[in-house]
Amino acid sequence: MSPLLIPARTRRSLRAAVAAVVLPATLLTAGCGPSGDGAHEEGAAAAAPEGFPVTIDNCGVRTTYDRPPARVVTIHQHPAELMLALGLKDRMVGTAFPDSAVLPELRRDFEEVPQLAEREPSFEAVLDAEPDLVYGGYGSAFAENEGRSRTAFADAGIDTHLNREYCGEKRVTMEDTYAEIRTVGRIFGVPGRAERLVADLRSRVGEAAAAVGGEPEVPVFVYDSGDKSAFTAGGRSLGTELIRLAGGRNVFGDLDDVFGDVSWEQVVERRPEVIAVYDYAGAGSVERKKEFLRSQPALADVPAVRNERFVVLPLTSTLVGIRSAYAVEDLARGLHPGSFR
Q: What is the pLDDT of residue 185?
A: 97
Q: What is the pLDDT of residue 99?
A: 84
Q: 176, 200, 224: which is the final residue of a domain?
A: 200
In a domain, 69, yes or no: yes
The candidate with the shortest Cα–Cα distance to 336, out of 235, 248, 206, 228, is: 248
Burial zone of 9 (CB within 10 Å; 0-12 exposed, 13-18 middle, 19+ buried): exposed
In a domain, 208, yes or no: no
The candidate with the shortest Cα–Cα distance to 82, out of 182, 219, 9, is: 182
Question: Could you tell me the pLDDT band of residue 8, with boundaries at 50, 70 and 90?
Answer: very low
Q: What is the DSSP letter of 172?
A: P
DSSP secondary structure letters along 204-255: HHHHHHHHTTTSPPEEEEEE-B-SSSEEEE-TTSHHHHHHHHTTEEETTTTS
Q: What is the pLDDT of residue 169?
A: 67
| Same-domain status, 62 and 160 | yes
Give me the chain's average pLDDT, please: 87
Q: Which domain holds residue 18?
A: 3-200
Among left, alpha and beta (phi > 0; psi -120 to 50; other), residue 271 is left
Q: 169, 200, 231: which is the final residue of a domain?
A: 200
| Same-domain status, 249 and 128 | no
Cα separation values, 237 from 31, 145, 194, 254, Å: 32, 25, 23, 11
The candidate with the shortest Cα–Cα distance to 333, out of 288, 261, 274, 292, is: 274
Summarize pLDDT for 75-102 with one digit per residue, the tens.
Answer: 999 999 999 999 999 999 999 999 888 9
Tell me which of 32 and 99 has the higher pLDDT: 99
Among left, alpha and beta (phi > 0; psi -120 to 50; other), residue 117 is beta
Of the listed ranges 13-22, 41-50, 188-197, the one predicted with least confidence: 13-22
Burial zone of 208 (CB within 10 Å; 0-12 exposed, 13-18 middle, 19+ buried): buried
Share of the chain above pLDDT 70, in %: 85
In a domain, 8, yes or no: yes
In a domain, 22, yes or no: yes
| Same-domain status, 88 and 137 | yes
Return d(Cα 196, Cα 224) in angstroms, integer: 32
Share of the chain above pLDDT 90, in %: 76
| Same-domain status, 271 and 160 | no
Helix (H, G, I), strand (E, B) or coil at 146: helix
Number of domains in the chain: 2
Q: What is the pLDDT of residue 129?
A: 97
| Same-domain status, 10 and 155 | yes
Return d(Cα 115, Cα 104) in angstroms, integer: 18
Summarize pLDDT for 262-317 with one digit per residue, the tens.
Answer: 999 999 999 999 999 999 877 678 999 999 999 999 999 999 999 999 999 999 99
DSSP secondary structure letters along 67-127: S--SSEEEESHHHHHHHHHTT-GGGEEEEE---SPPPGGGHHHHHHSPEEESSSPPHHHHH
| Same-domain status, 224 and 196 | no
Return d(Cα 77, Cα 314) in angstroms, integer: 11
| Same-domain status, 245 and 189 | no
Q: What is the pLDDT of residue 30?
A: 36
Question: Could you tell me the pLDDT band of residue 47, with boundaries at 50, 70 and 90?
Answer: low
Helix (H, G, I), strand (E, B) or coil at 164: helix
The yes-or-no verdict on residue 15 having pLDDT over 80 is: no
The yes-or-no verdict on residue 21 having pLDDT over 70 is: no
| Same-domain status, 51 and 174 | yes
Burial zone of 192 (CB within 10 Å; 0-12 exposed, 13-18 middle, 19+ buried): middle
In a domain, 128, yes or no: yes
| Same-domain status, 219 and 243 | yes
In a domain, 281, yes or no: yes
| Same-domain status, 51 and 10 | yes
| Same-domain status, 17 and 83 | yes
Task: List CB contacts of 133: < 8 A, sequence separation 6 or more.
Answer: 69, 71, 72, 73, 158, 159, 160, 161, 187
Summarize pLDDT for 135-155 with one digit per residue, the tens.
Answer: 999 899 999 999 999 999 999
In a domain, 33, yes or no: yes
In a domain, 267, yes or no: yes
| Same-domain status, 65 and 161 | yes
Q: 168, 200, 232: which is the final residue of a domain?
A: 200
The yes-or-no verdict on residue 35 having pLDDT over 60 is: no
Cα separation values, 321 from 28, 166, 184, 306, Å: 26, 13, 11, 33
Tell me which of 328 and 21 has the higher pLDDT: 328
CATH number where 19 lies: 3.40.50.1980
Q: What is the pLDDT of residue 42?
A: 47
| Identity of the amino acid at 186 | R
Q: What is the pLDDT of residue 16?
A: 42
Return d(Cα 62, Cα 53) in angstroms, integer: 13
Tell me which of 36 and 134 has the higher pLDDT: 134
